[in-house]
């Protein structure tokens, strides 16, 4: 009887281990492709994934559950800057420094959730152009590249828009937009994809004169590889010299 009880307890333990293993797999491999979850102790993994997703044109909405000053806190926003072991979350004009649960900064995260869109990011590269009136291509979510304006003056609205797009707190990560002035003109180097609507608002506050661009990178989205291939074919027909697409993982 004693041996039978031991055997039974072993079977129960084995069932518990199988269930635990299934839960781990379900949380990592089988979860929806547009939601990534990280325990606070895995903040390094979260930041690593963010630094892969953001430059490829994905939108990343971040939710954080944890503590601040010993009290529970729940936040939602976008990453304004990311270092190795912490990031700054921008939420409705308020910026909070988020660290792992054993840290000492403003918000100590127990759980970090990324909501990522689109499922596949499609990147289209268009050749340089020179024009009297520059306009962004329609049908794209984000854009990056270099724009040179021969005669430029920034309105106060454009200056504020530039600040909003180019938040830098500790200068640990490069600004999204670098501005170099040359005489009465300027060169705008967009290093990380930004929203086409945001860039449109910025450009509307600049008197450009003649405009020259470098290679411009535009981003749209697809639900699956079949649709991504269809978009690739269409964009190549529209003059794109290169089209890539990236899965979330």
Q: Could you tell me if 151 and 99 lie in one domain?
A: no
Q: Could you tell me if 112 and 70 lie in one domain?
A: yes
SS3 state at 123: strand
Q: Could you tell me if 184 and 165 lie in one domain?
A: yes
Closest CA to 39 of 31, 28, 30, 50: 28
Give the pLDDT of residue 99.
Answer: 96
Q: Could you tell me if 80 and 195 lie in one domain?
A: no
Q: Could you tell me if 238 and 159 lie in one domain?
A: yes
Q: Could you tell me if 111 and 140 lie in one domain?
A: no
- Give dist(CA 47, CA 55) in Å, integer: 13
Is pLDDT of 21 > 90? Answer: no
Q: Could you tell me if 226 and 124 lie in one domain?
A: yes
Q: Could you tell me if 238 and 165 lie in one domain?
A: yes
Tokens of residue 3, six digits: 């041996």
170-175, long-range: CB < 8 A, 24+ apart: 170/81, 170/83, 172/81, 172/83, 173/81, 173/82, 173/83
Q: How many structural domains does the chain have? A: 3
- State the CATH number of the domain containing residue 59: 2.30.30.690
Q: Could you tell me if 158 and 224 lie in one domain?
A: yes
Give the pLDDT of residue 80.
Answer: 86
Identify the band that residue 208 occupies on the pLDDT scale cut at 50, 70 and 90.
low
Q: Could you tell me if 95 and 153 lie in one domain?
A: no
- Give dist(CA 24, CA 45) in Å, integer: 16
pLDDT tens for 115-138 read: 999 999 999 999 999 988 788 999
Which position has the higher pLDDT, 171 or 29? 171
- Residue 225: give the domain boundaries: 120-247
Give the pLDDT of residue 76.
Answer: 96
Tokens of residue 213, six digits: 């661009």
Q: Could you tell me if 1 and 40 lie in one domain?
A: no
> Of how many residues is the chain composed?
249
Q: Could you tell me if 240 and 141 lie in one domain?
A: yes
């Amino acid at each position: 009887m004693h041996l039978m009880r031991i055997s039974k307890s072993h079977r129960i333990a084995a069932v518990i281990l199988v269930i635990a293993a299934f839960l781990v797999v379900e949380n990592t491999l089988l979860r929806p492709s547009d939601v990534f979850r990280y325990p606070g102790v895995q903040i390094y993994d979260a930041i690593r994934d963010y630094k892969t997703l953001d430059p490829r044109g994905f939108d990343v909405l971040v939710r954080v559950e944890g503590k601040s000053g010993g009290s529970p806190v729940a936040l939602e926003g976008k990453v304004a800057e990311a270092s190795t072991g912490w990031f700054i979350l921008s939420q409705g004009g308020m910026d909070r420094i988020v660290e792992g649960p054993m840290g000492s900064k403003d918000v100590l995260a127990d759980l970090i959730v990324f909501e990522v869109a689109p499922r596949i990011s499609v990147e289209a590269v268009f050749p340089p152009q020179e024009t009297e009136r520059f306009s962004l291509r329609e049908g794209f979510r984000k854009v990056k590249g270099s724009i040179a304006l021969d005669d430029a003056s920034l309105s106060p609205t454009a200056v504020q828009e530039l600040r909003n797009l180019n938040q830098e707190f500790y200068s640990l990560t490069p600004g999204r937009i670098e501005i170099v002035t040359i005489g009465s003109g300027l060169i705008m180097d967009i290093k990380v994809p930004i929203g086409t609507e945001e860039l449109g608002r910025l450009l509307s506050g600049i008197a450009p004169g003649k405009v020259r661009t470098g290679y411009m990178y535009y981003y749209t989205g697809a639900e699956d590889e079949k649709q991504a291939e269809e978009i690739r074919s269409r964009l190549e027909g529209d003059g794109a010299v290169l089209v890539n697409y990236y899965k979330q993982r």
